[in-house]
């Protein structure tokens, strides 16, 4: 019996509210030996107070030593085992630009490339042509027409675009992501033909080839982007919804498309068009009565970490803290502050270190923590735990889980 | 997706060096209530310094409450789930005496026994005859000749010897370990015939019976060892190599055959013929450039624990510590000190207690530990973890794991 079999069986409804407030890349490292981390350096009086009343711990997004991307990082927080639910690269790319994938869709990361008269690739990234040049070309590719397939082409950045194939008519429900990349990962050779990895992927592979064939006609004469390669072919991941597994009406309040997309994959409603944390809090307030669970995503603890800017991450962590009272005054029953992974400024990248996590609710067993930071979390009452367990703890603390067994 | 699927997918190469320095049976217990363990009593300035800079924790070799033998203990440290990869007794016995098993070999623990004129066992261990008497008899059994089988007989201690069957000709690749013991575990009855547990083991069972039949002829007239029984029939375990699962060129520097054998099972090269820890360190130095990963095994923290000699274990622990500078001056990127299990002198046996473990690397998050011992490890930043996760942590800290997912 896995976690979701448990929560499907045990979840009960009440009028409690759960808020999961995610500071992306929240965990860090000291800037110098003996020093403090970004979170420990930041002034976070609001989170410190909640840590004193609640319970703290260290969340392992996937497993010991594994540095996750945003996809597995968030799936873990949402309670979906990131080693079981894998999101293909194409599906994640489409999700990341806000494309709403439907059941049966196949999403593909595509690159413009340059080929010579013999059809051999001379530049796998078409000279990294600027987005102003590549975006109109991507839009032009919407002219490709293949029977029984709806085709979506969405510009991304520079040489990249997203291709989504949606089967219609005889192809409805027949397409899938088991097709190998057509990028040969080399120059001086032609793009590969699309190869089906499984017999039932032949139709999808043929459509991929037909797309590239027509694209070459549409791109003929372009100085740089006169061809394209297809990579990371992936079916829309099939994830049970929050309503199904937890009995929760769930909503996401995020600024960036990637996080809206990930939330959508687990059936959350995407609320508002907030561009700032204050606007996110406004959206939360306006929708407070309509949902049981809110996922609020704050990006800048990660982006400053990725930039390797310790001080900026400290500042952004203080912004993250400063918004907390706006959540708490709404009276949530369970409040969780955590991250999808650590992004220490010292590493300027996602890392494997446990993520500081605090859970505040009425019936937390006291753990002696009196501030929110990596060192305190290490000694906290939640111990070190895999992120996928956090949702079960949230439900329990919200009084939404019945007893297991008699 | 299991841990090795992850590491196969994510491992990347660089020029980092990882050293896993295993003090066999390292963990202990206080000699009296309120006292210190062997490791806490020992003066270990070198490990204490590394614990201050690195991160500590308690390793569970297999699972809570499980006291492992050397086989599962080391498999866990090597990152091979000891509940998934089982090494049959015969294979472990052969490994323990330094016999290099080949793919398809079947290894068997054999006992000399005494039977009466009616063929009933009168002594299951042939009066525990001394090794000086038993070894020549084991060598004599090499005269057994069976078509399409290469037969190896290796003396062990007292009444024990190892029998290895290697199929040739029509039997090549046809033998396996699914054969029941022939020891009836009782006297007054004859040895059992070898019984195949699976239909495809019939040939192996017949070979076992033929071996015993010929052995009885060769041993006829011996006053004690005039027959033998076969136990723990086991195929060579099939383990993926360090190179396959981690992308590591790995080497083992051990004194005792058992640990060389275990390392060989996971594809490590066995270096040198060191007889002392100083010689082991010399071998390490000489081979430093040729490998990415070194497993160094120190036996005496276990053997003194097994002897129930607290003070001797303290002394041997100090020897273990004293060699650390010779490792560190080579400049490893990741240094791990741990054990394959605990062997408290108070129990004079392997135990289930978590094993003190320290990981030293550049980007460890500080955990406030300032010495190496059971009590500090309990509060350390690695928490309590299953040993199989240690290799993933080692790879992460060596910068040898790419991000999981985008």
Confidence band of A142 (pLDDT split at 50, 70, 90)? very high
* B64 shares contact with chain A (CB less than 8 Å): no
- Range scoring the smallest mean pLDDT among A94-98, A345-349, A393-397, B273-277: A94-98
Task: Give yes or no: residues B367 and B299 share one domain.
Answer: yes
Tell which of A25, A62, A65, A345 to mutate to test the B interface (max B CBs under 10 Å): A65
- A227 and A247 fall within a common domain: no
Phi, psi of B373 (to 5 degrees): -175, 170
Q: Answer with the one of B235, B260, B276 that is the final residue of a domain.
A: B235
Residues A119 and A69 in one domain: no
Q: Give me the pLDDT at residue B77, please.
A: 98
Which residue among B379, B393, B406 places its CB closest to the CB of A65? B393
With cut-offs at 50, 70 and 90, classify the pLDDT of residue A312: very high
Chain-chain contact of A347 with B365 (C-beta, under 8 angstroms)? no
Please report the pLDDT score of residue B269 as a whole number. Answer: 96
B403 in any annotated domain: no
Quick one: A64 and A211 in the same domain?
no
Nearest residue in chain B measured CA to CA from A37: B365
pLDDT-derived band at A311, boundaries 50, 70, 90: very high
Answer for the pair B6, A352: CB distance below 8 angstroms, yes or no. Answer: no
Question: CB–CB of B383 and A379 under 8 A?
Answer: no
Lookup: tokens for A187: 């120059």
Q: With contacts defined as CB-CB under 8 Å, which chain A residues touch B368? A: 375, 378
Q: Establish if A368 touches chain B: CB-CB under 8 angstroms.
A: no
Number of compact structural domains in chain B: 2
Core vs surface per residue A305-341: b (16+ CB within 10 A) or e: bbeebbebbbbbbebbbbbbebbeebebbbbbbbbbb
B170 is a domain residue? yes
Q: Give per-residue pLDDT as tens, B88-104.
A: 989 999 988 989 999 99
Shared-domain flag, residues A157 and A277: no
Give the model's pLDDT for residue B142: 98
CB contact under 8 A, B363 and A384: no
Statement to judge: residues B349 and B302 lie in one domain:
yes
Q: Is the pLDDT of residue A381 over 90?
A: yes
Task: Check whether residue A210 and residue A287 sit in a common domain.
Answer: no
pLDDT band at A333 (very low <50, low <70, confident <90, very high): very high
pLDDT at A373 over 90: yes
Q: What is the mean pLDDT of chain B?
A: 96
Are residues B255 and B157 located together in one domain of the fold?
no
Compute the residue count for chain B: 406
Instruction: Assess A70–B contact: CB distance below 8 Å, yes or no.
Output: yes
pLDDT at A348: 97
Computed over every residue of chain A, the mean pLDDT equals: 96
- The shortest CB-CB distance from A70 to any of B367, B389, B406 is to B406
Specify the pLDDT at position B376: 97
Residue A98's pLDDT is what? 87
The C-alpha angle B63, B69, B71, rounded to 5 degrees, equals 95
Contact B406 A352 (CB under 8 A): no
Q: Which domain holds residue A182?
A: 93-235
B406 pLDDT above the threshold of 90: no
What is the mean pLDDT of the segment spanning B260-278?
95
Q: In sequence order, which ranges of A177-219 are alpha helices (DSSP H)?
A: 202-219
Strands A250-253 and A269-270 turn out to be: parallel
Question: Are B404 and A82 an interchain contact pair (Cβ–Cβ within 8 Å)?
Answer: yes
Position A279 scores a pLDDT of 98
Q: What is the pLDDT of residue A218?
A: 97
Which residue carries 């008899």 as its tokens?
A: B137
For B226-250, the pLDDT digits (tens) are: 999 999 999 999 999 999 999 999 9
Residue A78 lies in a domain: yes
In this structure, is residue A402 part of a structural domain?
no
Does A24 lie in the same domain as A62? yes
Mean pLDDT over residues B161-177, rounded? 96
Confidence of residue A12 (pLDDT cuts 50, 70, 90): very high
Taking CA–CA distances from B396, the nearest residue in chain A reads A65
Question: Is the separation of the CB atoms in A170 and A207 below 8 Å?
Answer: no
Q: How confident is the model at residue A278 (pLDDT cuts 50, 70, 90)?
A: very high
Q: What is the ipTM of this complex?
A: 0.90
Q: From the candidates A60, A109, A355, A378, which should be mutated to test the interface with B, based on the most B CB atoms within 10 A?
A: A378
Put simply, the answer to whether A66 touches B406 (Cβ < 8 Å) is: no
Helices (H), B157-309: 202-219, 242-246, 257-265, 277-287, 300-306
* Res. B7: pLDDT tops 90: yes
* A405 is a domain residue: no
Judge if A380 and A309 occupy the same domain: yes
Pick the last residue of a domain from B189, B207, B235.
B235
Indicate the residue of B363, B383, B405 with minimum beta-carbon distance to A383: B383
The residue in chain A having the minimum alpha-carbon distance to the alpha carbon of residue B369 is A375
Task: Flag if B363 and A374 touch (Cβ within 8 Å).
Answer: no
User: Nearest Cβ partner of A69 from B3, B392, B405?
Assistant: B405
For residue A273, what pLDDT is reported?
93
In a domain, A285, yes or no: yes
Q: Which of A41, A352, A388 to mutate to test the interface with B (most CBs of B within 10 A)?
A: A352
Does position A34 have pLDDT exceeding 90, yes or no? no
CATH number at residue B243: 3.40.720.10
Q: Name the band, by pLDDT with cuts 50, 70 and 90, for residue A360.
A: very high
Residue of chain A whose alpha carbon sits nearest to that of B391: A65
Q: Are residues A171 and A313 in the same domain?
A: no
| Inter-chain residue contact B395 with A82, CB threshold 8 Å | no
So what's the pLDDT on residue A33?
A: 87
Task: Choose one of A235, A251, A267: the last residue of a domain.
Answer: A235
Which residue among A30, A67, A83 places its CB closest to the CB of B401? A67
> Does any CB of chain B come closer than 8 Å to the CB of residue A33?
yes
Q: What is the pLDDT of residues B336-346, one digit of tens each?
A: 999 999 999 99
Closest CA–CA distance from residue A222 to any residue of chain B (Å): 31
pLDDT digits (tens, 9 = 90+) for B374-386: 999 999 999 999 9
Residues B315 and B255 in one domain: yes
Is A43 contained in some domain? Answer: yes
Contacts of A357 in chain B (CB under 8 A): none
Please give the average per-residue pLDDT across B296-309, as a whole number.
97
């Amino acid at each position: 019996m896995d976690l979701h079999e448990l929560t499907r069986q045990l979840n009960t409804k009440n009028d409690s509210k759960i808020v999961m407030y995610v500071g992306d890349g929240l965990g860090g490292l000291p800037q110098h030996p003996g020093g403090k981390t970004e979170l420990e350096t930041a002034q976070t009086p609001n989170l410190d107070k909640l840590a004193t009343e609640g319970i703290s711990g260290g969340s392992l997004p996937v497993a010991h030593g594994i540095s996750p991307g945003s996809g597995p990082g968030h799936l873990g927080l949402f309670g979906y085992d990131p080693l079981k639910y894998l999101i293909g690269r194409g599906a994640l790319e489409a999700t990341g630009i806000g494309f709403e994938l439907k059941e049966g869709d196949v999403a593909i990361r595509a690159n413009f490339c340059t080929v010579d008269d013999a059809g051999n690739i001379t530049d796998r990234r078409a000279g990294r042509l600027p987005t102003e040049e590549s975006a109109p070309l991507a839009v032009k590719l919407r002219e490709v027409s293949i029977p029984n397939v709806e085709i979506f082409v969405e510009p991304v950045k520079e040489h990249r675009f997203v291709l989504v194939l949606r089967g219609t008519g005889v192809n409805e429900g027949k397409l899938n992501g088991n097709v190998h990349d057509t990028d040969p990962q080399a120059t001086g050779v032609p793009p590969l033909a699309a190869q089906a990895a499984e017999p039932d992927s032949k139709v999808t592979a043929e459509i991929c080839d037909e797309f590239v064939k027509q694209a070459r006609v549409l791109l003929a004469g372009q100085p740089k982007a006169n061809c394209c390669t297809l990579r990371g072919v992936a079916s829309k991941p099939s994830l049970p919804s929050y309503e199904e597994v937890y009995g929760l009406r769930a909503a996401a309040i995020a600024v960036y498309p990637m996080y809206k997309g990930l939330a959508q994959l687990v059936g959350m409603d995407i609320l508002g068009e907030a561009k700032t944390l204050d606007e996110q809090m406004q959206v939360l307030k306006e929708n407070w009565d309509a949902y049981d669970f809110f996922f609020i995503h704050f990006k800048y603890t990660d982006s400053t970490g990725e930039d390797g800017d310790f001080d900026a991450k400290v500042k952004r962590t203080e912004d993250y803290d400063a918004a907390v009272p706006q959540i708490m005054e709404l009276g949530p029953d369970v409040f969780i502050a955590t991250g999808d992974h650590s992004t220490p400024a010292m590493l300027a990248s996602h890392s494997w270190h446990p993520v500081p996590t605090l859970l505040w609710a009425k019936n937390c067993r006291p753990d002696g923590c009196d501030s929110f930071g990596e060192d305190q979390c290490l000694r906290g009452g939640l111990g070190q735990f895999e992120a996928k367990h956090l949702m079960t703890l949230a439900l329990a603390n919200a009084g939404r889980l019945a007893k297991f067994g008699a």
